[in-house]
Amino acid sequence: MASLNPPQAAPKWTHTPEEVLKLTRGAIEEERVRLDKIAALKPEECTFESVRRLSLALAEGEAKGDSIVEPLTFYQNVSASKELRDASNQAEVLVRDFGVEASMRIDVFRAKQAAEKNIKESGRKLTPEEQRLVDKMILDGKRAGLALPDEEREKLTTLKKELSQTCLEFSKNFNEENGVVTFTLEELKGVPEDVISGYTKRTDGGKEVYDITFKTPDIFPVFKYAEDPETRRIAYEKFENRLAINKPVMSKFLDLRRQIAKLLGYPTWADYITEVKMVKNAKGFLTDLEQKLRPVGLKDRETLLALKMEEHKKKGLPFDGQFYLWDYRYYDRVFIERSLNLDDSLVKEYFPVSKVVPAILDIYQNLLGVTFVEVKGETWHPDVQMFSVWEKDAKDESGFVGYCYLDLFPRASKYSHAAVWPLLPGYEKADGSRSYPLTAMVANLAKPTPAKPALMRHDDVVTFFHEMGHVFHGLLSRTKFSRFHGTSVAGDFVEAPSQMLENWCFEPKVLELMSSHYETQKPLDAELIDKIIKSRYVNVGLFYLRQLFFANFDLKVHTDQEPADYTELWNSMRESISLVKGKDLGAGEGTFNHIASGYDAGYYGYTYSLVFAADMYATVFKKDPLDPQRGKLYREKILGPGGSRDEIDSLKDFLGRPPNADAFIKELFGSQA
C-alpha cells in the first residue's frame, strides 16, 4: 500500500502571511469572473444543456475556490505564528465578504431562475442529485433576499458583511484566549500529582504557585478533584469569565441577525435557520425532553447534595443547603467513585495516547474497509500526523480515498477544543475524474508529564471516537457535487453519525481493544469495563439538563424580538434549567462560540440528533458493533450519500423503516423507569 502514489498531491503548508492573502484574493477574482460569465447568459440561452453546464460550472468553480481558500483560512486555528493566524483571519473576512456579495447577485440568480424555467418547459429529466442542486440554488437565492427591492437588498448585503465580521471577531477571541488561574499547592489539594506536574510553576511574593490554563486537560481536573470548594469556585468564576471581551460582540451579532430576519420577512432568526433543518418544532422537542428529565435531574441533585453535606460536615466546612455549579463535576466524580468504586484517574492509566489513537484508527479501518498510511509530508506543525487513506484492497491509484491530518496536542493560541475541519471536499470534475477530500482533526489531548506518558480520560476517548466519525463522514462520502459532500447535511443531523459511534466506547470488546495500562500493558479487566458501562448514565438528568440549558439559551436569544442583558439571561436560565446555583459568575455567554460559528438556533441539534444516533445503533450495530458488513451498510447508506438526498431518506434506507425515538428514550430512561 505504501508503494502506491496518491493521484492527487497534498496541499502545501508553508505559506507566508503575504501568500495567504494573495492566493485568497486570486481565488475570489477567479470565482467573480465565473459568475460574470453566468450572469451574461441571455434567458433564452439557458437551455437544458447550458443549464447543465451552468450547474456544473458553478459547482466546480465553488469547489475549486474552496480547495484554495479552506486550507488558508484554517491557519487561524492551528498556526504557531501570530502573523499567519492574523493573515488567515483576514483571508476569512475576505472570503465571507465575497460570499455575501456572490449570494446577493441578482443577475446570477435570474440566470438560475431562467434555467429552472427552461428545464421544466423542456420536459427533460435531471438526475436526482442534479435536480437537488438546482432546487437548492433557487432556494439559496430566495433566502438571500434576492426577491427584495434594490434598496433593501443593498442594506441586507451591508448587514450580512457586518454580521460575518462580528462572528469572526467572537471566534478569534475564543481561539486566542490564553488566560490562567493561579493557585498554591495547598489550594490544589486533591488534584492528581501527574496533572499538577504539567502546570507551569513559578514564584510569586516568595511562595510557589501554579498557573493553570483554561484548556480542558488543565482546568477540568481542578473542577473534578480540588477538595477546597473555594478553589473550585474561583476556578469556575475565572473560567466562565475568561471571554468577557465577547459580551458586546454577542450583543452586536444578535442584533444584526434580528435586523436581517426582519428584512427577509421571517418572524425571527430561528425561523430563518430552521427552514432548512429536519426539525419542525425545536422548542416543542426541548420542552418535552425537559419535562421528562427534570424529575430525574432533581433526584440526581438530591443525591449529590447529600454527598456535599456529608463531606462539609466531616471537614467542618459551612453548608448552606445549595448545590453550586462548581459542585457538579466534583460530586459527580465522588458519586461515581463511591457507588461504582470507579476512579477516573485509574481508568486514565489504561488509555495512553500512544495506544488509543492507533487502536481507534484500526477499529475504524476494519469496520469501514479502509487503510491509513502515514506519510512524512509537509504539515503546519511538527506535532501533526499526516495520512493517505486507501480502500482496504487498493491495487492502484483508483483505490485512493483522500487525506487525513491529526493535530492532537495543546499549544498556545491553538483552537482549544476538539473539532474536525473538512478542508477539501470530494466531487466529480467536469472531465469525469474525481477531486479527493481532505479532513483535519484538531484536539487537545494531554501531553506527557515528567511522571507519566500522555494519558486520556475515558471522556477524551469518547470525544476522539466521536470526532473520528466526522473524519470518516468527510472521507467516505461520494457525491457528484461538492455542495453535498460529507458533513454538508442538515445541521440537526450532522452530529448523528458521530454520536452513534460513541456507543463503541461502552462496548466490552472495543474497550478491551483500545486499552493497555501504561506500565503493565494489560487491557482493562471485565470488572472495570462493567463499571465504565454503568457510569454512562449516572446523573443523566443533570447532564442532559445542562445540554438543554445551552439549547434553550440559543433558541431564546434567536427568537426574542428585543435585546436583553445576555449575562443575566445566561446565568438565570442556567440556574432554572440546569438546577445548579451560580448566578454571579460573570459573562459566561462570551464562551458560547457555537452560536457564532454555525450552530446559531441549532444547538438543539446535538440532542435532537441523538434520537437518530440511538435508533441507528440499536437497530443495526448493537448485535455486532465490529462487523464489517454492518460497517459497509453504514458506509453505503449514511456516509456515501452525504447531503445529496434528504437525510430522512438515508435513515429509512439504512434502518429499513422511518426512524423513531424508542431507542433514545429507552437508553436514557430505561434504568430510571
Measured between alpha carbons, how far is 624 from 187 in angstroms, rounded to an integer? Answer: 48
Contacts of 385 (CB under 8 A, 6+ apart): 374, 379, 405, 406, 408
Grid cell 465553488 — which residue? 62
Q: Which amino acid is at 454?
A: A
Q: What is the DSSP string of 360-400?
A: HHHHHHHHHTEEEEEE----SSTT-EEEEEEETT--SGGGE
CA atoms within 13 A on the CB side of 272: 21
Alpha carbon distances (Å) from 369 to 391, 398, 629, 634, 664: 6, 15, 9, 11, 28
Measured between alpha carbons, how far is 193 from 190 in angstroms, rounded to an integer? Answer: 9
CB 5 within 8 A of CB 436: no
Measured between alpha carbons, how far is 504 from 511 in angstroms, rounded to an integer? Answer: 8
**Residue 504 φ/ψ region, left for φ over 0, alpha for ψ in the -120 to 50 degree band, beta for the rest:** alpha
DSSP assignment, residue 5?
P
Write out the three cell numbers for 462: 469518547
From the list 31, 237, 467, 667, the catalytic residue is 467
Alpha helix ranges (H) inside 40-78: 48-78
| End-to-end CA gap in the chain | 52
Closest CA to 71 of 8, 5, 19, 6: 19
What backbone torsions phi and psi does residue 91 show, to the nearest 5 degrees?
Answer: -60, -40
Measured between alpha carbons, how far is 478 from 434 in angstroms, rounded to an integer? Answer: 10
CB 651 within 8 A of CB 658: yes
Sign of CA dihedral 43, 49, 55, 60: negative
Contacts of 101 (CB under 8 A, 6+ apart): 157
Write out the three cell numbers for 476: 467516505
Q: What is the DSSP string of 587-617?
A: -GGGG-GGGGTT-TTTTTHHHHHHHHHHHHI
Write out the three cell numbers for 583: 448566578
Measured between alpha carbons, how far is 306 from 294 in angstroms, rounded to an integer? Answer: 18
Helix (H) or strand (E) holding 196: helix 193-196
- A 10 A CB-CB count for 127 gives 10
Sign of CA dihedral 315, 318, 320, 326: negative
List 371's β-bridge partners, or say none: 390
| Residue 467 annotated to the active site | yes
CB 538 within 8 A of CB 336: yes
Alpha carbon distances (Å) from 637 to 235, 394, 474, 664: 46, 22, 14, 21
What backbone torsions phi and psi does residue 446 show, to the nearest 5 degrees?
Answer: -65, 145
* Catalytic residue numbers, as ranges: 467
